[in-house]
Amino acid sequence: MLIETPQIDLKSFEHACINVINNKYWFHETSAEGFPGQAFALEIEKILYHIHSQYQDILVFKSSTFGNVLVLNGIIQCTERDEFAYQELITHLPIMCHAKPRKVLVIGGGDCGVVRELIKHLDEGVDEITMVEIDDMVIKLLAKFLPGMAKFHNHPRVNIIIDDGFKYLKSLSTQTHDKYDVIITDSSDPEGPAEDFFQTNYFKLLSNALNPDGIVIMQSSENIWLNINYLKQLMQKAKQVFANVAYSQCYMPSYTSGQLGLIVATNDTSNVLNIPTRTFSADKELELFKYYSSSVHQASFVLPTWANKTLNHN
């Protein structure tokens, strides 16, 4: 399917998240459950695309300050300005924590940003990359409107499967298959098609699909400033399945409150997750990364005292 750029009149376009304030058009991200009492807004220059796919409401717009923006079900997923921060940290934390991350599975990640980052490790430890995304419309739209993220969506060494990630993992539990070294869960927030990704049973499926020293990482949907009690519950679910669980945070100005949390887990108790197992030279880090470094890796696990007490102490 070829995505053509439609001509959408912003003045006549209607969407629940778009409001007019002082003759300017604003996208407002609000959530009564996720972050009650606050919102995040971006000024809109142009609506690039809007569709109700089989699974979700998809909006792409050009903002005045953050470039092109992808929105799923009213929640910002990525912007051209700051996407690299999240994509780099969720990818390189587990990859650099694993001595031989040969086989990698990405659940979700339709924007293909994680795939772009994994490509940097091909033949540098990573040999196989598989991505399972439920909504191929997201891939097609990102290839059109955020090509800097999706530039490797058709890479010959990336196996993209259009399927429900949860069902895909369930199918692995009934098959004899090679286990994964790293699984990256890059899902949207826990509503709609991603709701199952935040339950204890999902962690069990992840553990089943991993090698004994395998590592999984997932976006936590919350950070310490929004709903730390929900975050604590999510980490407790992970700890019911994995022996070694840690919480990392990423600075993301386009996410409500400016941060996003990542939960990293493994059953390898000898792996000190906040210290990278493998490192690159400073020159190579500058060549490969805009956000990640071995120092950022370690610093991302450092929490304020009250948050550390809530999440890491019974």
At 52, which CATH number? Answer: 2.30.140.10
- Both 198 and 115 in a single domain? yes
Nearest to 107 by CA among 191, 234, 176, 196: 196
- Is 186 part of the annotated catalytic residue set? yes
Residue 22's domain spans which residues? Answer: 18-79
The upper half-sphere exposure of residue 37, i.e. CA atoms within 13 Å in the direction of its Cβ, equals 3
pLDDT in tens, the chain (314 residues): 567 778 899 999 999 999 999 999 999 998 766 677 888 999 999 999 999 999 999 999 999 999 999 999 999 999 999 999 999 999 999 999 999 999 999 999 999 999 999 999 998 899 999 999 999 999 999 999 999 999 999 999 999 999 998 889 988 877 767 899 999 999 755 444 445 555 788 899 999 999 999 999 998 877 899 889 889 999 999 999 999 999 999 999 999 889 999 999 999 999 999 999 999 999 999 999 999 999 999 999 999 999 999 998 86
Catalytic option among 135, 186, 189, 268: 186
- Both 29 and 109 in a single domain? no
For residue 60, which amino acid is it? V
- Domain assignment present for residue 8? The answer is no
What letter would DSSP give residue 256? Answer: G
**pTM over cut 0.85:** yes
Nearest to 227 by CA among 79, 78, 38: 38
Nearest to 143 by CA among 4, 289, 10: 4
Read off the CATH number of the domain in which 159 is found: 3.40.50.150
- Domain assignment present for residue 259? The answer is yes
Segments of the chain assigned E as strands: 18-21, 24-30, 39-52, 57-63, 68-72, 75-79, 103-108, 128-133, 158-162, 180-186, 210-219, 244-251, 259-266
